[in-house]
């Protein structure tokens, strides 16, 4: 049994939906046991958030305008893909009803002038609800017994609205109660991606790109054989092709490598997707709706070594380096402990930490948008120490990017760091910070944001990642 997830561009318009429906139909006719997970039509999620925010800020027309746009967009696609008039009418009626419910929520946000994370998650879920109805109808039109399923009935989560965590045991019980009977009856469930609900029923989203995560959670709950993530690229690439024209698709990588790539900025897959699948050893395939013959990338428990120690290069732009400069009065351990207690209280995510100097200065990397919050908290914490000179300075360097060079084979392979930093040197790119631990499968460093466009292609080139297979070895 497979779980197949189709992202926003795979259901972005009538042509894309037609293509997606064909893929689903072929797969269903192949082995008959299939769960489809669908995202909202591309752009719809942003439209929903924008309308809800406008309503909260006082826009009187936001709800009405949203309703109209939702109906028109989905009805347009339905009209093209569902020739049977009765089915079209029933489908449009169902879509209209969903759009009306959604608009009512937005109108309420307008009245209360407040968009809570909880309300936003609920409103946003309507994108997937509508696309699931539409796609199930298109499949039915083609003779496939598809049934739209709302994932707030299946995926149970905690109440971290905006990036909820799945409760896997409860989800498994629900999947057995709801999805398994459908599968056993020969139906094809078309499940909404991206959201679940708390045990009490409040809708929660799983974070941006969460439909991948939904597919992995359902695969775990149903003991699926494989997860197929259908997207608009051929697979996980050696680098962002906008930066590196010669970037290639990787045939296979490990769960750990994929997690590292996703953590350090690769957008093809949601960072948390790997975890449920990896826990059960279920391989994840990345496939291209627009090029379904391409084999794609297999993310699996192991990765056949192909002689390449570096697999791919990713970057996170828009980060800041924050530095706390001691003055020797406080020990490294004490300053570090106090800095991270303080950062911990802000709830801000820390990407890298590095300390290595007699000056006792400690650096770390956070998102640019989190930096001033962190700085203010540190200034409060060290107010007295700054006054008394026990801490010399605290400052932020914005406009930075983290670049991560990833590959499990680099553990124990000499020369990788040399090639990475040698390449940067040849291109006269200054390195702001480096942190690399033993037993890691990546080298991460900080450079100026405006040098990413030169750095990534250069490293890609240095490891022959875009060239012919014969050149792809490092460290020699």
Binders of a copy of itself among residues 427 to 446 (CB under 8 A) are: 427-440, 442-444, 446
Q: Please report, as residue ranges, which positions from 140 to 199 form the binding site for a copy of itself (by CB under 8 A).
A: none
Ligand-binding annotation for 231, yes or no, is yes
Instruction: Decide whether 123 or 215 has the Cβ nearer to a copy of itself.
Output: 123
Q: Please report, as residue ranges, which positions from 4 to 63 form the binding site for a copy of itself (by CB under 8 A).
A: none
Instruction: Decide whether 218 or 424 has the Cβ nearer to a copy of itself.
Output: 424
Ligand-binding annotation for 7, yes or no, is yes
State the Cα torsion 65-66-72-74 to the nearest 10°. Answer: 180
Pairing outcome for strands 284-288 and 226-231 = parallel
Ligand-binding annotation for 267, yes or no, is yes
By CB under 8 A, tell whether 295 contacts a copy of itself: no
Closest C-alpha among 245, 300, 252, 270 to residue 7: 270
Ligand-binding annotation for 9, yes or no, is no
Instruction: Decide whether 6 or 354 has the Cβ nearer to a copy of itself.
Output: 354
Closest C-alpha among 378, 391, 358, 256 to residue 311: 256
Instruction: Decide whether 109 or 219 has the Cβ nearer to a copy of itself.
Output: 109
Closest C-alpha among 118, 117, 109, 127 to residue 63: 109
Q: Applying CB under 8 A, which of residues 76, 245, 295, 425 lies at the interface with a copy of itself?
A: 425
Least separation, in Å, of the C-beta of 233 and a copy of itself?
21
Q: Please report, as residue ranges, which positions from 353 to 382 form the binding site for a copy of itself (by CB under 8 A).
A: 353-359, 361-363
Site string for a copy of itself, 68-107 (x = CB under 8 A): ------------------------------------xx-x
Of the candidate spans 82-90, 146-154, 234-242, 259-267, the one that interacts with a copy of itself by CB under 8 A turns out to be 259-267
CB 273 within 8 A of CB 214: no
Q: List helix spans (H) across 230-309.
A: 255-263, 274-280
Number of residues near a copy of itself (by CB under 8 A) = 91
Instruction: Decide whether 12 or 300 has the Cβ nearer to a copy of itself.
Output: 300
CB 452 within 8 A of CB 341: no
Q: Applying CB under 8 A, which of residues 175, 269, 420, 452 lies at the interface with a copy of itself?
A: 420
User: The tokens of 59 are what?
Assistant: 């826009």
Instruction: Decide whether 77 or 119 has the Cβ nearer to a copy of itself.
Output: 119
Q: Applying CB under 8 A, which of residues 39, 42, 259, 288 lies at the interface with a copy of itself?
A: 259
Phi, psi for 411 (deg, rounded to 5): -65, 115
Least separation, in Å, of the C-beta of 341 and a copy of itself?
4
Ligand-binding annotation for 388, yes or no, is no
State the Cα torsion 131-7-173-223 to the nearest 10°. Answer: 140
Residue 379 CA neighbour count, 13 Å, CB half: 9
Q: Please report, as residue ranges, which positions from 315 to 354 form the binding site for a copy of itself (by CB under 8 A).
A: 321, 323, 328, 331-334, 336-341, 343-344, 348-354
Closest C-alpha among 308, 317, 320, 254 to residue 456: 317
How far apart CA 370 and CA 367 sit, in angstroms, is 5
Least separation, in Å, of the C-beta of 285 and a copy of itself?
21
Q: H or E element: which one contains 367?
A: strand 361-367
Instruction: Decide whether 195 or 354 has the Cβ nearer to a copy of itself.
Output: 354
CB 364 within 8 A of CB 327: no
Residue identified by tokens 């499990």 is 408
Q: Applying CB under 8 A, which of residues 421, 453, 461, 473 lies at the interface with a copy of itself?
A: 421
DSSP 35-94: EEEE-PPTTHHHHHHHHHHHHHTT-TTHHHHHHHHHHHHHHHHHHHH---HHHHHHHHHH
CB 20 within 8 A of CB 135: yes
Ligand-binding annotation for 45, yes or no, is yes
Least separation, in Å, of the C-beta of 161 and a copy of itself?
10
Ligand-binding annotation for 314, yes or no, is no
By CB under 8 A, tell whether 119 contacts a copy of itself: yes
Of the candidate spans 76-84, 256-264, 277-285, 307-315, the one that interacts with a copy of itself by CB under 8 A turns out to be 256-264
Annotated binding site for substrate: 45, 128
């Amino acid at each position: 049994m497979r779980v197949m997830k189709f992202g926003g561009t795979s259901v972005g318009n009538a042509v894309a939906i037609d293509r997606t429906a064909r893929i689903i139909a072929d797969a269903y006719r192949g082995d008959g046991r299939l769960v489809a997970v669908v995202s909202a039509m591309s752009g719809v999620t942003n439209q929903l958030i924008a309308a809800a925010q406008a309503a909260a800020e006082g826009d009187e027309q936001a709800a009405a305008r949203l309703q109209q746009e939702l109906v028109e967009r989905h009805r347009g696609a339905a009209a093209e893909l569902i020739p049977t008039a009765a089915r079209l009418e029933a489908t449009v009626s169902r879509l209209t009803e969903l759009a009306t419910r959604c608009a009512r929520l937005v109108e309420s946000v307008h009245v209360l002038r407040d968009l809570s994370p909880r309300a936003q998650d609920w409103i946003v879920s309507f994108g997937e609800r509508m696309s699931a109805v539409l796609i199930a109808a298109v499949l039915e039109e083609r003779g496939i017994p598809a049934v739209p399923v709302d994932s707030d009935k299946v995926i149970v989560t905690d109440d971290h609205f905006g990036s909820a965590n799945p409760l896997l045991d409860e989800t498994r019980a629900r999947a057995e109660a709801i999805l398994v009977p459908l599968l056993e009856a020969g139906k094809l469930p078309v499940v909404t991606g991206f959201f679940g609900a708390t045990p009490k029923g409040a809708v929660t989203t799983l974070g941006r790109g969460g439909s991948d995560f939904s597919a992995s959670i359902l695969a775990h709950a149903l003991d699926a054989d494989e997860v197929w993530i259908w997207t608009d690229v051929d697979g996980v690439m050696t680098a962002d092709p906008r930066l590196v024209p010669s970037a290639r698709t990787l045939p296979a990588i490990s769960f750990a490598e994929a997690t590292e790539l996703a953590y350090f900025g690769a957008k093809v897959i949601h960072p948390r997707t790997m975890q449920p699948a990896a826990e059960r050893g279920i391989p994840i395939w990345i496939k291209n709706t627009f090029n379904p013959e391409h084999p794609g990338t297999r993310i699996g428990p192991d990765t056949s070594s192909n002689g390449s120690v570096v697999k791919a290069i990713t970057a996170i732009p828009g980060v800041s380096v924050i530095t706390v400069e001691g003055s020797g009065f406080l020990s490294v351990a004490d300053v570090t402990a106090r800095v991270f207690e303080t950062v911990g209280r802000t709830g801000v995510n820390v990407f890298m930490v590095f300390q290595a100097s007699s000056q006792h200065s400690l650096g770390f990397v956070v998102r640019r948008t989190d930096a001033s919050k962190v700085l203010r908290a540190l200034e409060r914490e060290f107010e007295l120490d700054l006054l008394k000179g026990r801490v010399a300075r605290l400052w932020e360097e914005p406009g930075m990017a983290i670049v991560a060079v990833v590959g499990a084979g680099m553990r124990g392979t000499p020369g990788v760091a040399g090639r990475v930093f040698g390449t940067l040197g040849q291109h006269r790119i200054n390195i702001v910070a480096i942190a690399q631990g033993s037993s890691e499968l990546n080298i991460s460093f900080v450079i100026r944001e405006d040098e990413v466009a030169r750095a990534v292609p250069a490293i890609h080139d240095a490891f022959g990642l875009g060239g012919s297979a014969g050149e792809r070895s490092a460290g020699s």
